Structure formats: structure tokens, C-alpha cells
Amino acid sequence: MREVNLRSVDLNLLTVLQVLLEERHVTRAAERLHMSQSAVSRALQRLRVLFHDPLLVKSAQGYSLSSRADKLAAELDMALKSVTRLIQEPEFDPLSVEATIRFSGIDLDSWIDMPALMAQFLSQAPKLNIDVSSMPADYFEMLAKGDVDYVVTGIGPSKHLGDIHRIQLGESDLIVLMGENNPLASQSLDLEKYLAAVHGFVTITGKGPTYLDNYLSSIGMKRNVALKISDFRSVIDYVEKSDILFMLPRALILPLIKGRKVVLKPLPEEIKMPKVNFYLYWHSRFHQDPLHLWIKQKLLSTRRLSD
């Protein structure tokens, strides 16, 4: 049996062959294919070379199939249907899908109503398993490695830029968080007082300094950063029990301070920072996946709106 190099085969010829075998007539085949008769005749000549067989043989009634063509007819139909299924976008049925979808981000709960989202999954995709992590991590490296499906964060990627997609969930201004018993709580917060205070900051990646510290350094100033933590929710305890200050996005901190002895103040005018944009991120490997397209639709339907 001779070996066939598929790269040298024009698969469009097979669709022409299928119609020729069904019609057994060049003119009628051309009409069905919306091609000229001469173009179909040329295709037939190429098919004869490809198969080393006449395929259509002249007879008293017009054309009849050669022995090889007769055998090809059934196989060709199945082959073309297989190719169609291969190319065709798969149907998506949430009721039958079985998968584990992983979400990550310390900002996740501030922008996505995860309990409401889970309620939709339970009723519409009961075989879907959800894994949620709010632990600080290198989220974009996790996306690149396939360790997580979706990330919500206000920090942008520094690498894998061409492989990551995003959609904005909201934005938030930055505020200063302090305890009610902090001496600054009853005062206006100017730059001098702010820089003289003791500060902490939340780090997601374990790295630093912050954008604000870099900015202060560029203008010859510095604040006293005494604490670096990764547990975002623990900042309330720190400010209630000490005179430490944190600069945080308002949208993230508001849900955590109800009933707590804390005060929110604006940053001094001289160092006002731009609003932080928060995004839902995912990797390009899932960009057109039917399951992930459906999940993104559900995610956006349970998005929390910033104040």
C-alpha cells in the first residue's frame, strides 16, 4: 500500500468527489456545488490522479462508478462527517458537564457574589465542582501553569501578557484605615502626619515596596513601614489594637469594617493615588472554551457593584 502525504491532499476535492459520486454527472454536480462545469471537470481529473482510478466511467446511461469509487462512497460519507464533527464547535450542556473550576484572589469576594454564583451552579450545572482560594499568591503564574481558571485582582500581570485576557469588574479609590483610638482618628490627616505615622501594607506576592513607597522615594520622601502582611482580613485587628495605618482600596475594606472600631480617611492631597481597577483574568487556553464562556456569563451576572 502506497503512503499518502496528507499535506499534499486538497481536502476540498473530497467534497467535490462526494457530490460526483452521488450525482454521477459532472454538470449536475457543478450545479449542486455552485461551481462551473469546467472547474468540476478539472477537480475530477485531479481526483483520478490522487486515487489512481477513473472513479467515473462513461456508460450508455452517462457515467457509472468504478469498483473503487463504489467502495469509496460509503467511506467518504463517514469520513467527511467525522471531519465536520472535528471542526464543529461542541455543544455545551451545563447539566451534563463534569469539571472542577478554580477561582483565586484575595479580592474575589469583594467583586463577585460567590454564594449567589454557587447557587446558580448547583441548579444549572450540578456536576460542576468549585474550588475557591483567597490566599495570596503569584496569580498570573498560576494562570500560566493551569493551576487556576480565574483570578480577581487589582494587580496587573508583569509577564505572560499575550496569554492573559481580562474584563474590568470595577474600580475603587484608596483610603487610609486606622483604629478609633489612633490619635490621628480625630484629626485631619496631612502629609506630615501621614509620613510620621507607623504603616503596614498587604502584599499578595510577598514582595514590595508598594507603588506609593516608590512614588515617595522618587520625590525624596519616605514613610515608616513597620509591618508587611499577606492576610488581607487581619488588617482590622492590627489597626484596632495599635496605631498602625494601612492604605487600602475602599471597596475591599468596606465589607469588613461593619461593627468594628475603625476610621477611614482620605489620603493627603499631595499623594492622592489614582483609583485601582479590578479585573477578572483568565488564560487564553480557555478563551473560547464553551464551559468557560458560560461561566464568565454567570460571573458577570453576580458581579458586585462598587459604591
Q: How many residues does the chain have?
A: 307
Q: Are residues 268 and 191 in the same domain?
A: yes
Lowest mean pLDDT among 60-74, 85-99, 196-210: 196-210
Domain membership flag for residue 131: yes
Q: Are residues 218 and 269 in the same domain?
A: yes
Q: What is the DSSP letter of 154?
A: S
1 pLDDT higher than 60: no
Q: Are residues 148 and 182 in the same domain?
A: no
Q: Are residues 110 and 192 in the same domain?
A: no
Predicted confidence at residue 212, as pLDDT, reads 81
Domain membership flag for residue 92: no
Domain membership flag for residue 94: no
What integer is the mean pLDDT of 55-67?
Answer: 83
Q: Are residues 10 and 127 in the same domain?
A: no
Domain membership flag for residue 1: no
234-269 pLDDT tens trace = 999 999 999 999 999 898 888 889 999 999 999 999
Q: Are residues 113 and 237 in the same domain?
A: no
Which residues are CB-neighbours of 75 under 8 A, at least 6 positions away? none
Domain with 122 in it: 99-171+277-301
How does residue 208 score in pLDDT terms, banded at 50, 70 and 90?
Answer: low
> For the CA atoms of the chain, what is the radius of gyration?
32
What average pLDDT is seen over the chain?
87
Domain membership flag for residue 196: yes
Reference 299, options 98, 94, 118, 97; nearest CA is 118
Dist. CA 36–CA 196, nearest whole Å? 85
Dist. CA 232–CA 245, nearest whole Å? 13
59 pLDDT higher than 60: yes
Q: Which three cell numbers stand for residue 154?
A: 487589582
Q: Are residues 145 and 115 in the same domain?
A: yes
Q: Are residues 58 and 197 in the same domain?
A: no
Domain boundary among 59, 87, 115: 87
Instruction: Kindly list the strands in the beta sheet with 198-202, ordered across the sheet, starting from the edge strand earlier in the chain.
Output: 224-229, 198-202, 244-249, 174-179, 262-266
Domain membership flag for residue 306: no
Domain boundary among 38, 57, 87: 87
Q: Are residues 254 and 179 in the same domain?
A: yes
CATH of residue 57's domain is: 1.10.10.10
CATH of residue 289's domain is: 3.40.190.10
Domain membership flag for residue 93: no
Q: Are residues 124 and 264 in the same domain?
A: no
123-180 pLDDT tens trace = 999 999 999 987 767 888 899 999 999 999 888 887 777 889 999 998 999 999 999 9
Q: Are residues 133 and 253 in the same domain?
A: no
Q: Are residues 282 and 167 in the same domain?
A: yes
What predicted TM-score, i.e. pTM, was given to this entire model? 0.68
- Sign, CA dihedral 76-77-78-83, equals positive
Count how many domains the chain has.
Answer: 3
